[in-house]
Structure formats: C-alpha cells, structure tokens
Chains A and B, each alone.
Chain A
Amino acid sequence: MLEIKDLHVNVFGKEILKGLSLKVPPGEVHAIMGPNGAGKSTTSYTLAGRAGYEVTGGQIDLFGEDITGLSPEERAAKGIFLAFQYPLEIPGVSTMNFLKTAMNAQAKLRGEKELDAAQFLRIVRAAAKELNISEDMLKRPLNVGFSGGEKKRNETLQMALLKPKLAILDEMDSGLDIDALKLVAEGVNKLRAPDRSFLVITHYQRLLDYIQPDVIHILSGGKIVLSGDKSLALQLEENGYDAVINKAA
C-alpha cells in the first residue's frame, strides 16, 4: 500500500529526513517512534503534502503510484488522512458544515456522487453517536472551545466518515488523559480493516498499549534505524532511546 523510498526532505533549507524508507502493507498498523527532533512530524506533514516540506530526493508511492508531487487535497482524495497532533480551531465554520464540505469535496475529486442532505445527516449522526459526540458539538464552530479529548474524538469522527486507505496518526495521545485516550483508541481500533493501514507516530510507548501495532520503526536522525515487533516498544520503555539506538548502530 504505502512505500516510502529513500526520502530526503528539507524544511526551511535544512535537511530533516535523510533517506527514510518504509513499507506498510494493507491492513497493517505500523508505529514510528523516535526521540524529539528525529523527524516524526516532518514525516507526517510530508506524507500529507504540506507546503514548505520540500522533497529533495526519493519518492512516496501509494498503491504503486508516485504521489510525491500531489497537493494535499489530491492525496486526501486518494485516501491519505492525517490526524493532527493539534487539531485547528476554525471559528465561523460549523463542524457539520466542515464535514459536509470535506466529504463532498473528496467525492467530487474522485468523480463520485455527492451525498444529499438527508443521507449526510444520517451518516454523520450514526458515526458521531459511536464516538460519543453530541449534536451540540456538531453545531459548534470547528474545534472552538473543544477540550483536548473532544478535538481528538472529532478527528476520529472525520476519519470514520472519510474512510481513508492510509491513516496517519500524529501524536494522537498528546493532550489526552487516560480516559480520553481509551475512547479515542477504541474509535481507531473499530476502524481497523483489511484494506486500511495505519501509521501511528508517537513519542511514548503508552499509546501503543491501546493501539497495538504490527511493526514498530525507530526513527532517528531522519531515517529508520531499527524495525521490529511490539517488543521493541518495551525495550524503549526500559532502556530509553539512546541505548536502543546506539545498540542498533
């Protein structure tokens, strides 16, 4: 599904990713862990196509198609979804209006039929109920005045509605207490499917207790230095990044 080949990325003229390679087969959950400054956020923004993240070498393939030069909206239409570490507050745009605009925009980009108002309402209400998101939250401006947990639940709702092929969860656990984390992880786990892959980007092992990965990659100095199963996370927890990375080197 996703294949990143020898990716080099500059941000503000400074090279942050220095030959990142990674393969995520369909249906699998891969985690990228790494110390601060390793290039975790750069990886997620580059995959989503953010301006200012300049690819200087290598490429990103999705289902065998090179998507390196595509705009964020084109990537979204092809099935890439980035759950933001800090979801944006947008005053003046209701959550409902935003969801409808996004769903219809993606349908249009894919050449599919847009939803009518009744279909849309039915789908949104059902998905919102699953995630314990109230009707009131849907009417409020997007993320304005939402708690950390509400914002992440809202991200999960968007994921459920947009049905991505590849979901990138960027530090999903930041700003969440244990109860909120459990609820969000439960929402994510429900979305696991044979044709959907996840890339879970996290600093802490804690999140991986709730969203169990098939493979863990350790990112350091802009490239993957070590990959393994979930026991890798426990090693990190015990010995810290330095020890594990040094041992790998």
Chain B
Amino acid sequence: MGKVVSLDNLLASMEARRTDVAPWLGALLGEAGEKFAHLGLPNRRVEAWRYSDLAKALHESVKLEADADAPPEFPGACLAAFENGVLVDKLSSYCAMGAISLRKALAQQDPAVAAHIGKINPQQDHPIVNLNTALMEEGLVLHVPRDVTMATPLHLRFNWSDVETQGDDGRHLRLLVVLEEGASATIFESHDGAPSFATIVSEFRLAANSSLRHIRLENFAAAARQTAVTLAEIGEKATYRGFYLSQGGHFARHEALLKLAGEQSFAEMDGAYLVADKRHCDNTTVVTHAAPNTASKQTFRGVLAGAGRGVYQGCVQVEQAAQKTDAKQLSRALLLSHRAEIVTKPELEIFADDVKCSHGATAGELDANALFFLRARGIPEAQARALLVEAFLAEALDTIGDEVLRAPAAEMVRKWLARHAGEASHVE
C-alpha cells in the first residue's frame, strides 16, 4: 500500500515549511499555500482535470510491485540523481556544469532564484504549481551564461524505489533553468520506479537566441503517481524542442505550458505514450503565442493496449499581438484493445487575425490490410503487429535525431513493444 496523501497533510506541511525562512521566500510560499488551500487537489469537476482526476487517484489504493526497470545510464552526461525525491550529491556530478541544488540556492538567497522562480510563464491559479511552490525544497538550479553552449547534457535522474521514505505529503521538486542570450543546453530527464505522489515543476527561461533541447522519459512502474509541469518562456529567436515519452502509471500527467514571448521564437514538441494494463497517461499542452512571427509544432502519438487510458489536451492560444503565428498540432492514437481509451481535446483560442493554425486528431486500430500483407509474407501475427506499432512510433523517435539521446528512448519503446504490441485488438 502506498502512503495516504491528503489535503490536510499537505496544508500542515506547508505551514511547517514556512517557519524560519527568509521573508521574501516566506511571502512566496505563503501566497502559493493560500492559493492551493483555496483551489484544493484538482478533481474532475475542474475542466482542465476532467479526464485526469488526481484527487480520486490519490484515494485509490495502489499495488506496489517490484516491476521497475533500472534507470537508464547516460555516459558523458552530468548527473543530478534524485532518489525518492532527495537530491543525492554523492551520486551526482551536476556541480561540474555549474548547477547548484535548490536547497543551497534558497539558503544562500541566490539572486537568480529570487528573480526567476515563480515568474516564468506564471500560473496564478494552477493547483499543482501552487502546491509545488508552497512545498519546494529539493531541486536544482542551472544558469547558463551568455553565448555558452553546454558541452554535455544534464541528466536529471528521478528514481523512486522506496515508498517508505517518501513521506505522507508527497515529494515536490522544483527545477529552474535560465539560459542567457545565445546559450544552449540539453536536459534529459528520466523518471523510474513508483513515486507514491510526486509533483515536479520545471521553469525554463530562454533568453534571445538561446536554445534548449528537452527530453523526458517516464518509465514508471504501475503504481507511480506523478504530475509534472514544464513552464517555459521563450525569447526572441529562441528555440525550445521537447521530446516526451511516457508509459503512464497509476496517474502520470505532464503539462507543457509554453509561452512564445519573443518575435520569431519557436517551440516544437514531439510526444509518444505507450499505455497498457490499467495505466493512465495524460499529456496536456498550452502553447501561448504572445509575439508576432512565432511558430509552434506539436505531434503526439499514443499506443494504447489492455485497459490503458491516454489523454491528450492541446491548447493553442494566439494573443492579439501575435500576428503571423504558425501553429500546428497533431494527435494520433492507435488502439490495440477494445478496452483501451483515448481522450483527445484540441483547443484553439485565437485573438489575432493573420494566423495559420491547424490541428488534427486520429484514433484507430492497426490497418487490417497492412497486417494481412505482412502475414502473407510469412511474418507471424504478433510480430507483424509489433512491426506496425514500431513503425508508428519510429516517426516520433526519429525526431530526436542525435543517436546518443535517442538510444534510451528507443530501448524503452523496444521493451514495451516486446511486452504489449502483440496484444490483439479483436480477441478481447
């Protein structure tokens, strides 16, 4: 059984967290705590959480199994190793790239933290962002100076192996990454094991001409409950490229809330989710075009087996000033089972008149003609199915480009396919 995380526990912890901190921090935590107390844990009566009821998921009992894969190794990267929500310095090498722990940054009253935290694409009324802010303690801060290109990726390794050490108020981690003008970096996140309840809020500030490559792999065990929020503000001619791969969990949600704040800024997101058994996986995006000549492109591909449930909510907002916006959005889902489910909700909110916005969504079974063709060539049914699912996902994996970055994602897909892709849609 996982720990019971309740609203009361969370509010009590927030109260305790606020004692003995610097006044500026106390004010920040206090304000967020009050907002959260008012909003509560999100449930399906809140529109943005209609298909992913976190409050309900936290009440459900989860069965803990030792089915977790070992976290991926990433030779050559600087590592920040979080074990059960605690940054473990003796396993880490992040100092080499100038990053510091959030705990240290808060204690030292790091001016970069005070200047940026909670101020990047701010979300006043977001329950999880407020919850995370009110309880933030562990995390990492990375500041990349002007025109510096980080030679190695930063590997943020979140591994959840032991429920007992995770507390009854969950674990709430915060990342702050500031790229100065012309800087560039690659951030690789891996999420393994089973957090009993974790929130992770990442804030990325991309100044003019900077670029960030952001890769997330959620390779959770079935009992995992996590909701993560990526907040980014993208400056003039800056580029954000995200790749998100998840196999869901008891409750796994990732929100990418991106603001294209400078002219000619660009954001691209490619996502793939593989959801089997009774897992739940939610990808929610809100891309705000706030400046002229900005472009965004997002493609999400889902493969759902067993009684898996996938949610994709994609919202594109175009502000009045953001003329010549070019926004593309595509969602494709493959259902391998009649018990599997996909919820797709595209939204466009356009306040400018000279824009190009497109969205499309498909959901279906494997193509029966293609399946017969492969079988007629002697490829057994389960293998033929796996080949077609692999082909469907290959296009997502290919967007990673770099072979070293692609390998762990490809490995995760391969393992999942070996377990689930042969599942037939018509014999349920």
Contact = CB atoms under 8 A, between A and B. Distances in A.
A101 B379 contact: yes
Interface string A84-99: 1001101111000010
A207 interface: no
Interface stretch (B17-25, B98-106, B157-165, B385-393): B385-393
Given A72-B375, A73-B375, A105 B388 contact: no
A72 B253 CA distance: 41
Contacts of B372: 48, 50-51, 72
B375 A162 contact: no
B377 A102 contact: yes
Given A50-B372, A88-B370, A90-B370, A102 B394 contact: no
A82 interface: yes
A73 B381 contact: yes
A77 B368 CA distance: 20
A105 to B, nearest CB: 5
B108 interface: no
A76 B387 contact: no
A70 to B, nearest CB: 11
B376 interface: yes
B369 interface: yes
Interface residues of B, number: 24
Nearest to B377: A102
A51 B427 CA distance: 13
A243 interface: no
A92 B377 contact: no
A73 B380 CA distance: 6
A81 B378 CA distance: 9
Interface in B365-413: 367-370, 372-381, 383-384, 387-388, 390-395
A130 B374 CA distance: 24
B375 A106 contact: no
B335 to A, nearest CB: 18
A19 to B, nearest CB: 25
A102 B378 contact: yes
A165 to B, nearest CB: 13
Contacts of B379: 73, 101-102, 105
Contacts of B388: 90, 93
Contacts of B368: 51
Contacts of A73: 375-376, 378-381, 384
B378 A91 contact: no
A108 B390 CA distance: 21
A158 interface: yes
Interface in A180-239: none
A71 interface: yes
A90 B371 CA distance: 10
A138 to B, nearest CB: 16
Nearest to A93: B391
B394 A92 contact: yes
Nearest to B397: A92
A247 B36 CA distance: 88
A48 B227 CA distance: 49
A50 B373 CA distance: 9
A82 B394 CA distance: 28
B375 A71 contact: yes
A76 B376 contact: yes
A76 B369 contact: no
B270 to A, nearest CB: 14
B377 A76 contact: yes
Contacts of B381: 71, 73
A101 B387 contact: yes
A60 B126 CA distance: 66
A91 B388 CA distance: 9
Interface in A140-193: 141, 158, 162
A106 B395 contact: no
A194 to B, nearest CB: 23
Contacts of B387: 93, 98, 101
Contacts of B383: 101, 105
A105 B386 CA distance: 13
Contacts of A75: 376
B197 to A, nearest CB: 37
A102 B380 CA distance: 9
Contact of A162 (B369, B377, B394): B377
Contacts of B384: 73
Interface string B295-310: 0000000000000000
A161 to B, nearest CB: 10
A109 interface: yes
Given A51-B372, A101-B383, A105-B383, A91 B377 contact: no
Contacts of A93: 387-388, 390-391, 394
B253 to A, nearest CB: 28
A101 B378 CA distance: 9
A156 B123 CA distance: 60
Nearest to A83: B376
Interface in A43-62: 48-51
A93 B393 CA distance: 11
Q: Which of A51, A73, A158, A162 has the most CB of B within 10 A?
A: A73
Given A71-B381, A105-B383, A90 B375 contact: no
Q: Which of A48, A72, A81 has the most CB of B within 10 A?
A: A72
A75 B375 CA distance: 9
Given A72-B375, A76-B378, A93-B388, 18 more contacts: A48-B372, A49-B376, A50-B376, A51-B372, A71-B375, A76-B375, A87-B373, A88-B370, A90-B370, A90-B391, A92-B395, A93-B391, A98-B387, A102-B374, A102-B377, A105-B379, A158-B377, A162-B378
19 contacts: A48-B376, A50-B372, A50-B376, A51-B368, A71-B381, A72-B372, A73-B378, A73-B381, A76-B376, A77-B378, A81-B376, A82-B376, A88-B373, A90-B388, A92-B392, A92-B394, A93-B387, A98-B377, A101-B387
Closest 10 CB pairs of A and B: A92-B391, A76-B378, A106-B378, A72-B375, A102-B377, A92-B394, A88-B373, A105-B379, A93-B391, A72-B376
Interface of B: 367-370, 372-381, 383-384, 387-388, 390-395
